[in-house]
Chains A and B, each alone.
Chain A
Amino acid sequence: MANWRFKEIVVMAALAVVFGVVYLAFLPLGGVLVGFFGPIGYDLIFGIWFIVSIIAAYIIQKPGAAFLSETIAAMVEVLIGNAIGPMLIVTGMVQGLGAEAAFAATRWKNYSVWVLMAAGVGSAVTSFIYGYFMSGYAALAPGYVTAMFIVRMISGALIAGLLGKALSDGLAKTGVLSSFALGKEYRKKHAA
């Protein structure tokens, strides 16, 4: 936290607020999908709930960005008043840890597409382990649980990893990120 500028923290919080709202908007959609397909319905779009980790980490490129942004997004969801309640903060932390682990594996140096997708998968893995205990997946048939797990990992890689990267790159193009790691990188690449 010591090498973070306050500006970066507030921007991370602002991103978390925006995506906290997006996350809440996707909850009823997930609910509908669950109604149709069973618990696997959530897993189809689960990646959307990891996206802020990938975006914040990719933009700020500092240790802790993935974990903190997801935690703050969860906090914001609690603030707005979703009905999962304070427990959601723990869920956010668990998801953030998964993404952070992927970035930690590269010592927070590499932010290529593959690492971003791996971060999405990382969130999927940790959130699934957590969900296995908290939501009682243990009561479901093993084959079904395996299918849920695979679908969630794919969703994490595609929705969180790829869509997150596309959004961040789009932002870099506008120039608002000029004082952040991603914006500087973008400028260097396009100055030549």
Chain B
Amino acid sequence: MFLQRLNPSLKALTIMLFVVLLAMIFDPITPLLFLIWTVSITFLFGKVAWKKYTLYFIPFLIFAFGMLWTTIIFADTPTNKDDSITLFGMTYPRESLLTALALSLRVLNVAALSLLFIFTTNIVHFILSLMQQLRLPPKIAYAVLAGYRFLPMMRDEIKIIHDAHRVRGVNQAKTIKEKWENYKRYSIPLLASSIRKAERTAMAMESKGFTGEKNRTFYRQFSIKKTDWIFPLIMLLGFSAAVIVSLEMGYLKLFS
């Protein structure tokens, strides 16, 4: 689909730009409208599985809710105290309520923007593109790619350490406290084995001629095409529309 074929670096930069723009908005209407826009774009152009999407989104709903009530309770003293709203039998200052809503909707909107990126981006392509478009030094890029390959091995490693401990008579952890003790016992061997593995990988790469030189060639080439700019444009369109609607409704508030 359209989002999947986008240049990963450009996609990441666009997302970052809008996260920064959102940080300057302190009214609830703009993030609400832009949230709807972001989610719609994700599903229209991204072909994202909605079940998986929902699963990832739920933690943020909880987090946003926590943000909502704490911001109401710990809010700065409002400038206009008499202007209040009654909700569920409690009276809140209107200003605090609106700011709290704005902050929690912002959390959700940032989450939606990030999910858009995560669900439509191939990670290896992202690193390759960072190297080719954003001048990430190859030494770091390939070190990260190598490190990333260790991830699935880590689970096996934990299993091995666990078994090794059991053979030597460490009991199976049942309570949370015992589990915590176990993790403490695993941490050093786990780190030690990844350091050893990293050392060996580095030597193998160097012995096969990896120098980390900047003017290297790539098997998979990435570039920014003219059509890639459609994405930032669409997002900008949605954001401006959200800001304008919010302004028309008299809610728009920048930096409180």
Chain A residues with a Cβ under 8 A of chain B: 1, 4-7, 9-18, 21, 28, 31, 34-35, 37-39, 41, 68, 72, 75-76, 78-87, 90, 133-136, 138-142, 144, 167, 170-171, 174, 176-177, 179
Contacts and interface: CB of A to CB of B under 8 A. Distances in A.
Interface in B186-239: 187-192, 194-199, 201-203, 205-206, 210, 212
B63 A38 contact: no
A92 B113 CA distance: 18
Nearest to B60: A83
B130 to A, nearest CB: 9
A156 B141 CA distance: 28
B203 A39 contact: no
Nearest to A169: B188
A89 to B, nearest CB: 8
A17 B191 CA distance: 10
Contact of A6 (B106, B139, B187, B256): B139
B79 to A, nearest CB: 12
A167 B190 CA distance: 11
12 contacts: A1-B139, A5-B202, A9-B139, A9-B143, A14-B146, A18-B190, A31-B59, A79-B148, A83-B56, A86-B13, A176-B195, A179-B199
Contacts of A144: 74
Interface stretch (B64-72, B86-94, B164-172, B243-251): B64-72
Contacts of A171: 188, 191-192, 195
B37 interface: no
Contacts of B210: 6
Contacts of A90: 16
Given A14-B195, A176-B192, 10 more contacts: A6-B139, A10-B147, A16-B147, A76-B144, A83-B60, A86-B15, A136-B103, A144-B74, A171-B192, A176-B196
B182 interface: no
Contact of B76 (A37, A141, A179): A141
A183 to B, nearest CB: 10
A114 B42 CA distance: 48
Contacts of A11: 195, 198-199, 202
Interface residues of B, number: 71
Given A15-B194, A34-B63, A85 B148 contact: no
Contacts of B194: 14-15, 17-18
Nearest to A71: B140
A162 B81 CA distance: 46
Nearest to A133: B23
B16 A7 contact: no
B123 interface: yes
Given A7-B199, A12-B143, A85 B150 contact: no
Nearest to B15: A86
A21 B23 contact: no
A143 to B, nearest CB: 9
